[in-house]
Structure 1
Amino acid sequence: MAHRLGHRHDGNVSEIVSKRSSRNAKLAKIPLGIAGRAAVGFGRKLAGGDKQEINAELNQKAAEQLFAVLGELKGGAMKFGQALSVMEAAVPEEFGEHYREALTKLQAAAPPMPAAAVHRQLDQQLGTAWRQRFQEFDDTPTASASIGQVHKAVWADGRVVAVKVQYPGADEALRADLKTLNRMAGMIGALIPGADVKPVLAEISERTEEELDYRIEAGYQRQFAKAFDGHPRFVVPKVVASAPKVIVTEWLDSASSVAQIIQRGNEDPEGTRELRNRVAGLLGEFHFSSPSIAGLLHADPHPGNFMVLEDGRLAVIDYGACAPLPNGFPPILGQMVALEVDGRYDELTQLLHDNGWVIPGKTLTHQEIQDYLRPFTDPIKTETFHFTRKWMQRVAGKATDITNQDMMKTARAMQLPAEHVMIFRVLGGSVGICAQLDAEVPFMKLMKDWVPGYAETLRTAS
């Protein structure tokens, strides 16, 4: 409950920071447990058990163990779990609802740290007189994430604020988790068909140090807040104060989180269709327009970071991961889409070769490029596109189908240039949320409005 400041609670920080050996032990149990159950299942099959029923049971238990461990831990395990949760729509139906439910749960809050640990962090980050900067501070957190939790408070000037406090030891836990998870990437990828696990882990690992310093996040958020100040459709809360492990921002009262809207859509598809379409359109517009408006791309697309306010605007939080794009999206992206739309595959193939999308020494024909891209091009064939789980499953299945030798040959000859990795990861995450929303989005209008190179390339053809 909220209280007037002027005293502090005693507590032991060690209660909320697991030792590295304990964390690694929990993560290590995942492959051991799965291997053990697989052996038992194999024995049951030899004994004449129903193979489909046994496989379903093994899948359910494997999913439950994997996501129970990831959900229990903070740090890299939870961050990785949240990244995977965006891919929920790509999980094939035959793997059952247990995968979907387990992935969705990872968007929820982690167990909180006690008030004493919070106060100690505030002592260290804002100074021992930090209570004088607040009129009120609620010791009960309102939300928690991978490396910090959020408290509601009232700033000295009367503004209601959100105070995000990093968990003590979060830096060590995050680094340790990521090392362990990287070693387990192959096994986890096999458990979750459709999820591109290794690049997700690589990206999280690369941005670890940046996300641990809340001053960097505050800088990104200030830039976004200034650029979107007064925008009729988007809200970015302003930063009030920041330190390496504490950030104070304006408080937002939301009507619904996007995660809640997804859940309501699962329960009542027809009754929420208009809302889901509008929210997905706003989400797409925010990601497509941000590089042009703010010079940045919000790079943590999962439903917990987006909220719909009472007035219908989309509020966006958590700016720990952002990609600087001071000149907007690279024009080559618009050029590629325009050439695909026009069917000018000879020019598209040359563009890919010339700009590092084909591995040096490899050669691809325009027919191979056309065949490779075909499964992914549905959203650019019409002005609007209905993103569904079924579509996501089909695309993910074709992209990872090792039995399609022609597809795999082309994939092995191509590479995603480093400067485009984050862009594709974010847009892929945004598409994943749209599929979870089962929403129709004006995808091509967003492309025409916000991605340079598209309209110019079409004009060149006319």
Structure 2
Amino acid sequence: MSEIVRRRSSRNAKLASIPLGIAGRAAVGFGKRLVGGDRTEISAELNQKAAAQLFTVLGELKGGAMKFGQALSVMEAAIPEEYGEHYREALTKLQAAAPPMPAKTVHRVLDQQLGTRWRDRFRSFDDEPAASASIGQVHRAVWSDGRAVAVKVQYPGADEALRADLKTLSRMTGLIAAVIPGADIKPILAEITERTEEELDYRNEAANQRAFAKAFEGHPEYVVPRVVAGAPKVIVSEWLDGTPVSAIITAGAQDPAATRDQRDRVAFLMGQFHFCAPEIVGLLHADPHPGNFMMLPDGRLAVIDFGACAPLPHGIPDELGRILGLAVEERFDTLAELLHTNGWIIPGRTVTDREIADYLRPFTDPIRTESFHFTRKWMQRVAGVASDITSPEMKTARAMQLPAEYVMICRVLAGSIGICAQLDATIPFMRLANTWLPGLREERSAS
């Protein structure tokens, strides 16, 4: 693949090929079973081919399609085991890899962004990408002063691809509204669109990264690489060597007992980072997937990729802490009133405190004890309840909406929990929440 797929019609056709391909293979599989084929072997073969197609299409499209795939990869722990093995492997690849662009394309972008004498700024530059992601790929190089650096180069056409995907999504609002009647999803899409547009200009990412690097400089538990140079489509930052969290997840699956302490440590540091950053930096790192975190040899957690950050100049809103505190104390009458008053319930709808209690019950396990063991089995159970369209809880869900200002916060919270489940980790979730969530301490103290 030489260039990112730009035309919206071409991107939509490729995306449509996923369900069409799965349907076609299902028909072939049904035919094989009719003539006596082994059901288990046929199902495994179909899943493997579907997973391979999923990775290929989302990876080739990059842009918003690949970002969607990366979001799916964070939540792969919720996929039932009998379906998830092949998809898990394919989706995990999207966390740090995609078909690369040719060296001549990389050089052309560097010519445009850093000037035609860009090689003079480097002692060496590796044309083979070290990692590929949704809108850019990373190359290892040595800066003129001898520092090892990571050079992130944006794919030509990434801006057009992202906008095309967002327009496609916006045209699906009618379909989404049919599934969730009455929900006003326009503010949610607006928030996602705003954050995504900001990612296209690497100068925004450089500013975010500089803010994080300054705030966490000398921190005993976290490292943020410093920015060396930047341009709208290229960013150069210090290179860090460490063990990707995705590799720690894989090692944990292979040898759970030997890796337990490391997995718990990683999950704790990631959870604490997302809780504390808004208070320390005034920003929320809004791209929680394992490809953006790695453990350094000295035990600190390195955080990279600051393209998606949500501004929270006053930290996490008190309201979220109050909601969690009321749920912990099971004061659902007060909680229902708070949700109605602050726009979490669709105007004109009524949700009782009993309905709120029943709706939240499947999700409240982590807040019932000071520490909680996040597992794939637990995630699969919660996801099963949440996706049961016949349940009374789904009726309650259709009367609720997520205020736009909480979209990124809840996305990060859900993503962090998904990674904890992949790590099969036990962390003091409530201790972290009590320490870093404004409103929660006050709510619990008052009760």
Corresponding position of 1:8? none
Matches within 5 A, 1:115-264: 115-179=103-167, 205-254=193-242, 256-264=243-251
Query: 1: distance between equivalents of 2:239 and 2:270?
Result: 20
What letter is aligned with 1:344? R
Trace 1:261-300 onto structure 2 (pairs within 5 A). 261-300=248-287
Q: Does 1:70 align with 2:67?
A: no
- The whole-number CA distance in structure 2 between the counterparts of 1:443 and 1:182 is 35
1:88 maps to which residue? Answer: 76
Deviation (angstroms), 1:44? 5.9
2:428 alignment partner in structure 1? 442
Q: C-alpha separation between the residues in 2 aligned to 1:290 and 1:60?
A: 39
* Kept after mapping to 1: 8 A contact 2:140/2:149: yes
1:243 is displaced (CA, Å) by: 0.8
- In the TM superposition, residue 419 of structure 1 has moved relative to its aligned partner by 0.7
- What CA deviation, in whole Å up to 9, does each residue of 1:261-296 have, x standing for no partner? 000001111110000000000000100000000101
Partners of 1:249 and 1:411 lie apart in 2 by 43
The 8 Å contact of residues 191 and 404 in structure 2, kept in 1 or not, is answered as: no
Distance 2:192 2:43 in 1: 32
Q: Is the 8 A contact 2:188 2:407 kept in 1?
A: no
Residue pairs, 1:326-337, within 5 angstroms: 326-337=313-324
**Which of 365-374 and 133-142 deviates more?**
133-142
Deviations, residues 125-158 of structure 1 (Å, cap 9, x unaligned): 1122322322322222211111111122222233
**8 Å contact from structure 2 (residues 294, 302) kept in 1:** yes
CA distance in 2, matches of 1:202, 1:265: 38
What TM-score comes out, normalization by structure 1 length?
A: 0.88
Alpha-carbon distance in 2 for matches of 1:265, 1:452: 34
- Give the corresponding residue for 1:454: 440
Secondary structure of the structure 2 residue equivalent to 1:226: helix
Once the two structures are aligned, what percentage of the paired residues are identical? 74
CA–CA distance in structure 2, aligned partners of residues 305 and 135 of structure 1: 26
Distance 1:287 1:323 in 2: 12
2:17 is paired with a residue of what secondary structure?
Answer: helix
The residue aligned with 1:426 is 412
Q: Structure 2: any 5+ residue segments left out of the alignment?
A: 176-185
Distance, in Å, in 1 between the alignment partners of 2:346 and 2:174 is 24
- Provide the C-alpha distance between the structure 2 equivalents of 1:400 and 1:380, rounded to a whole number of angstroms: 22
Maintained 8 Å contact 1:306/1:316:
yes
- Correspondence for 2:288: 301
Q: Distance in 2 between matches of 1:103 and 1:202?
A: 26
Query: Residue 163 of structure 1 aligns to a residue in which SS?
Result: strand
Q: Following TM superposition, by how much is the alpha carbon of 1:43 offset from its aligned partner in structure 2, in angstroms?
A: 5.3
SS in 2 for 1:141: coil
**In structure 2, what is the Cα distance between the partners aligned to 1:112 and 1:50?**
38
Q: Deviations over 1:321-358 (max 9, x none)?
A: 00110111111111111111112111111111111111
Q: Secondary structure at the match of 2:228?
A: strand
Q: Does 1:319 align with 2:309?
A: no
| 1:295 counterpart letter in structure 2 | G
Matched letter for residue 414 of structure 2: G
> 2:340 aligned with 1:353, yes or no?
yes
Deviations 1:75-113 (A, max 9, x none): 222222111100110001232411222222222312222
2:257 is paired with a residue whose SS is coil
Per mean C-alpha deviation after superposition, the further-off stretch among 304-313 and 353-362 is: 353-362
With 111-120 and 171-180 compared, the bigger mean Cα shift is at 171-180
Change beyond 3 A, Cα 1:74–1:100: same
Q: Which runs of 5+ in 1 are unaligned?
A: 1-13, 188-197
Equivalent residue, structure 1, for 2:354: 367
Number of equivalenced pairs: 437
Would you say the 8 A contact 1:264–1:272 is kept in 2? yes
